[in-house]
Structure 1
Amino acid sequence: MTVVEVCLDDVAGARVAEDAGADRLELCAGLAEGGTTPSIGTVEAVLGTVRGIGVNVLVRPRGGDFVHTPDEVGVMCADIRAVTRLRAGSPLPVGFVLGALTPDGEVDVPVLRTMLEACGDAPVTFHRAFDATRDLAAALDVLSGLGVARVLTSGGRATALDGAAVLADLVGRAEGRITVMAGGSVRGGNVVEIVDRTGVPEVHLRAPAVVPGRSRHRNPHLGYDTGERTVTAAAPILDVRRRLKRAL
């Protein structure tokens, strides 16, 4: 059965995703920026909320590009160590999601080695910085050689469906050395086609729903409260699960 990973940023959403059949969570903050490191309190709360699925914690200090300064690398390693302390006391499978590139669009091997050392024996996913590399096939080989467990990719295109041909090539090239996980607008309506065309063993999706905010009073002159908020919804996850099951 295809592994389904759900990207989210809320504790309640972690419960929703597990109940809807997610196999693993990618826990983030700042999803509007493509994802940033969640607070240590959020990580602790999620690890205390879910019952038996894996939790991968994104380590990314800011939005924008993936070329990181020494200060940022220091912050990322400190975050990894903080999560590692929680991981030591958790019965759940806990891993990390991270990445770093050179200004020329190649995997930043020295920086990645530093972070991998901080991760210890925890499984590591290289995030969609992979899609910004100059040569996806070469980057896959580098990551495999470094011991990275998984790469999240849309095949270098805007969506996983658009990048299906490249994803298929990457799956063939991986040869079991590293897992290729498809991400990028994965939905119930296209997940079976993506899996069939690429052979990916895992898919990654968000499951957002916009709901009214809780405030009964709003100051209309302030721009940061729109009266709505985004939460993790069960329906998209259930839809993906149902369609994958039917396709077996």
Structure 2
Amino acid sequence: MSKRAVLEVIALDTEDAVAAQAGGADRLELVTEMAADGLTPSPATVAAIRAAVDIDLRVMLRLADGFAAGDVRRLVRVAGELRAAGADQFVLGFLDADGAVDLAAVEQVVEALDGCPWTFHRAIDRAADRHALRKQLADLPGLDTYLTAGSATGVDAGLPTLVAEAGHDGEPGYGQRILVGGGLRLEHVPKLRSAGIDGFHIGGAARPDGWRGPVSAEAVAEWRAMLDGPAA
């Protein structure tokens, strides 16, 4: 019997968080500014959501659109402020101008997290060499997840890559959970589950009215039911 899949839902505020938990989400990714694909929320928002729900929260560390780290000292300072507000899990990922991982920036931020679990986000889908990136990050403390669609354009194009990477489970650089997100639809789930993938991340799919509307507990529950059904 396959283990229960993790369902992570993007939350912008406490209303989203409460609805996602009610629908059966295991974890939330906390962001703001989805027009920029998700930036760091305020410490006050993180504290309010932490007080409203009791599931895991992963907080985005990203100060501007794109995948450059920008002001790393500011990122480190913001990470400390978020930890003081109750954050204990994070999401980050930085590339240099050539599409390689910005290892110096990642290492500085991870050092400030002091062992907190974290996800390397979809910057991997923009990397010049996914395999090299995984190898470079393999031993960083706290890294337990890659959020990826398998392709910069989304899951439709990335399915073969996701299935192939799931087959490397346990190899150096491939010990982290694959959390699939980015154009993910319910119809993708059976193939991903049959490949052994057990992490799923939804944003717009949890919002029937789009990003201007809140998370729907009913929409999240539909995903929960699909993930808890028999793997294809």
Same fold (TM over 0.5): yes
Describe the shift of the 1:99–1:75 C-alpha distance in structure 2 as closer, same or farther (beyond 3 A).
Answer: same
Write out aligned runs for 1:141-156 (5 A). 141-147=135-141, 148-156=143-151
Establish whether residue 244 from structure 1 lines up as the match of residue 209 from structure 2. no
Alignment partner, residue 68 of structure 1: 69
Alignment partner, residue 2 of structure 1: 5
**SS, match of residue 149 in structure 1:** strand
Distance in 1 (alpha carbons) for counterparts of 2:24 and 2:51: 18
Alignment partner, residue 132 of structure 1: 126
Write out aligned runs for 1:225-244 (5 A). 229-244=212-227
Residue among 193, 200, 221 paired with 1:195: 193
Write out aligned runs for 1:41-56 (5 A). 41-51=44-54, 53-56=55-58
Establish whether residue 186 from structure 1 lines up as the match of residue 188 from structure 2. no
Alignment partner, residue 154 of structure 2: 159
Alignment partner, residue 116 of structure 1: 110
The TM-score with structure 1 as length reference comes to: 0.84
Instruction: Give the 4+ runs in structure 1 shifted more than 6 A.
Output: none
Identity of aligned residues (%): 30
Check the 8 A contact 1:10/1:232 in 2, yes or no: no
Alignment: residue pair count: 222
Alignment partner, residue 60 of structure 2: 58
Check the 8 A contact 1:187/1:240 in 2, yes or no: no
Check the 8 A contact 1:28/1:57 in 2, yes or no: yes
**Structure 2: which 5+ runs fail to align?**
none
Distance in 1 (alpha carbons) for counterparts of 2:187 and 2:224: 11
**SS, match of residue 184 in structure 2:** coil
In the TM superposition, residue 157 of structure 1 has moved relative to its aligned partner by: 4.2
Check the 8 A contact 1:161/1:194 in 2, yes or no: no
Cα displacement string for residues 107-148 of structure 1 (whole angstroms, at most 9, x for unaligned residues): 111111000001112101011111110011111222222232
Write out aligned runs for 1:165-180 (5 A). 165-175=160-170, 177-180=175-178
In the TM superposition, residue 106 of structure 1 has moved relative to its aligned partner by: 0.7
In the TM superposition, residue 55 of structure 1 has moved relative to its aligned partner by: 0.3
